[in-house]
Chains A and B, each alone.
Chain A
Amino acid sequence: MSTTRTGTISRRSFGLLAGTGVASLALPTYLRAQDKPRVVIVGGGAGGATAAKYVAKDSKGAIDVTLIEDSDTFTTCFFSNLYLGGYRDFNSITHGYDALVSTYGIRKVTGLAMAVDRMAKTVTMADGAVVPYDRLLLSPGIDIIYGSVPGYSEDAAETAPHAWKAGPQTELLKARLDALTDGQNIVMIAPPNPYRCPPGPYERVSMMAHVLKSKGFTNSKIFVIDPKDKFSKQGLFQEGWDKHYPGMVEWYGPDVHGGIKSVDVAAGTVETDLDTFEGALLNIIPAQKAGAIAAAAGVAGDSGFCPIDAASMRSTMDEAIFVIGDASIAGDMPKSGFSANSQAKVAAMTIRADLTGSKAFPAKYSNTCWSLIDTDDGVKVGAQYEPKEGKIASVEGFISQTGEDAALRKATYEESIGWYDGIVADMFS
């Protein structure tokens, strides 16, 4: 990444020169190139990678695009449940940024963005580097609120993984799952709303049950302790669990468990009002908020997520900042990779219109979430969204039906593979 470093330094020195009043016309031409409007994107995930690509691609070199991402590679949460289930290997859900740099001329800065100076319009990196912007787009995903589950902590996650950010946590959960023996149980604490990927916990339950069943470990059980009284695609998942994993999955809503009192990851217990649940494996998925940079920039609201203008994904708190993906309050849209990708295109179009005067069309958003219940048994839910009365509102939708035939479920699964390859190509190539 030496080009990245050099790029950052020259941009910094330009910032200093400009700050001391040197007229840009007097600059040598290689620095004059920096007169192009600058878009800085924090977060190279589903939202940020897509936004970086679309701003760079569609502005055809007229905008200088910098993508700040802490990692060298991105492991998708989407299909990470299929990795748990043994349908994908880890490499197949991990992707690099090379094409964004080489094909679209995006400058990738690898490191953690720590602060945003909204007056000076700069982002400060953990190593002290300062990156100036004309428009800043934040797509930092979520941060886990460990304290929302009494007894849970970042340290405890090394024993009882959340695996709600893909990477080492996901590999840890897989290793722990694969090490279970027949009769050993899993306890999952599902997250409260709003959280990333509404059907995700229940697809994960399905994939963990699939692994146990494939080994003949049908004496094992998965207890799901849920703070919600209902969940996404509930009828479809419960039908699937009864069909494929009879007696193996027990889901408890708050009216039955009465409240989650505490977890003890060393003992492997989850205490509720009703009872204490024991598991050789605990998967604790706490409450969530926007990634820390959103609060550091002062664009997160009381809920921990960021209010946006429904027609553009522009922060309602700063017109030079856009927030997309899980970090945003996107009305009826679920927090999904598909949603983040869709929001990225609206934000990219608006940013180009701001900076180059290109035409902006009315915003439209869409989402579809596929989930796998067992081999060749896929289901999906989708909707289209438009800005309506100040929020992003669902205007049309569908969901798979219970009792669908095997051929349709298989076609749905195959379609999800096409979607995965499609969205990953849309983000990274």
Chain B
Amino acid sequence: MIRHCMPPRPGGANVRLLAGRTVATMAAALLAWPAAPANASDDAALALEVEHVVTRVLAIDGDPAYGEYLGGECVTCHQASGAASGIPPIRGLPVDYAVQAMIEYKLGARPNSVMKLMTARLSDEEIAALAVYIAGMED
């Protein structure tokens, strides 16, 4: 049941955890979205911080019920069915990918202002809960 307790992958915060391990089409769609500003590779401190927080969050057991409530905020824009037009789909994203993405938005390593807003005040527990919900949307 604890689907997300896989160890964080080595290789730094900006490694795309999804590539090569999930449905190819979904990976392609996601890769079309900017992962980080162009200067992110220069920003080693930010990358380190992201990695640090990702590791911390992945160690938490996310509460699926809390995730489902919080996830109500996601599905206003990211369609629960997985359909997408203009906003990337999140349905069924692997836990580690979703955690990484939320933390990158929160810490400013990804640029979108709405996502930065939505993640700005999320606690570690809330990110963990949301990731469990997002991964489970397919079930």
Q: Which residues of A contact B (CB under 8 A)?
A: 54, 58, 338, 341-342, 345, 349, 359, 361, 364, 366, 368, 380, 382-384, 395-398, 400, 414-419, 421-423, 425-426, 429
Contact = CB atoms under 8 A, between A and B. Distances in A.
Contacts of B20: none
A56 B77 CA distance: 20
Contacts of A398: 113-114, 116-117
A338 B113 contact: no
Interface residues of B, number: 27
Given A418-B86, A425-B80, A368 B121 contact: no
Contacts of A345: 69, 72-73
A418 B84 contact: yes
Contact of B72 (A54, A338, A395): A54
A417 B85 contact: yes
B110 interface: no
A368 B76 CA distance: 11
A422 B77 contact: yes
Interface string B4-36: 000000000000000000000000000000000
A121 B125 CA distance: 40
A364 B86 contact: no
B75 A426 contact: yes
A384 B75 contact: no
Nearest to A421: B85
A361 B113 contact: no
Contacts of A414: 86
B44 interface: no
A126 to B, nearest CB: 32
A366 B76 CA distance: 10
Interface string B58-91: 0000000110111011011111110111110000
B120 interface: yes
A57 to B, nearest CB: 10
Nearest to A413: B86
B77 A423 contact: yes
A425 B75 CA distance: 9
A418 B77 CA distance: 7
A423 B76 contact: yes
A341 B69 CA distance: 13
Interface of B: 65-66, 68-70, 72-73, 75-81, 83-87, 112-114, 116-118, 120-121
A417 B79 CA distance: 12
A159 B135 CA distance: 53
Contact of A368 (B66, B70, B79, B114): B114
**Among the interface residues B78, B81, B113, B120, which one has the most CB atoms of the partner chain A within 10 A?**
B113
Given A418-B87, A419-B87, A384 B117 contact: yes
Contacts of B66: 361
A383 B117 contact: yes
Contacts of B79: 421-422, 425-426
Given A341-B76, A414-B86, A418-B86, A425 B81 contact: yes
A396 B120 contact: yes
Contacts of B113: 380, 382, 398, 400
Contact of B117 (A54, A368, A421, A423): A368
A422 B117 contact: no
Contact of A384 (B69, B77, B84, B121): B121
Closest 7 A/B residue pairs (Cβ):
A418-B86, A418-B87, A345-B72, A422-B77, A417-B86, A414-B86, A398-B113
26 contacts: A341-B76, A342-B72, A345-B69, A361-B69, A364-B73, A366-B73, A366-B117, A368-B117, A384-B120, A395-B121, A396-B120, A398-B114, A398-B116, A398-B117, A414-B86, A415-B86, A417-B85, A417-B86, A418-B87, A419-B77, A421-B85, A423-B76, A423-B77, A425-B79, A425-B81, A425-B83
A421 B114 contact: no
A421 B118 contact: no
Nearest to A341: B76
Contacts of B86: 414-419, 421
Given A364-B70, A418-B85, A418-B87, A342 B76 contact: yes
A62 to B, nearest CB: 15
A421 B73 contact: no
A186 B76 CA distance: 35
Contacts of A397: 117
Contacts of B114: 368, 380, 382, 398, 415
A197 to B, nearest CB: 16
**Among the interface residues B66, B78, B79, B83, which one has the most CB atoms of the partner chain A within 10 A?**
B79
Contact of A396 (B65, B81, B121): B121
A81 B51 CA distance: 44
Contacts of A396: 117, 120-121
B113 to A, nearest CB: 5
Given A368-B114, A384-B120, A342 B87 contact: no
Nearest to B78: A422
A189 B57 CA distance: 52
Contacts of A342: 72-73, 76
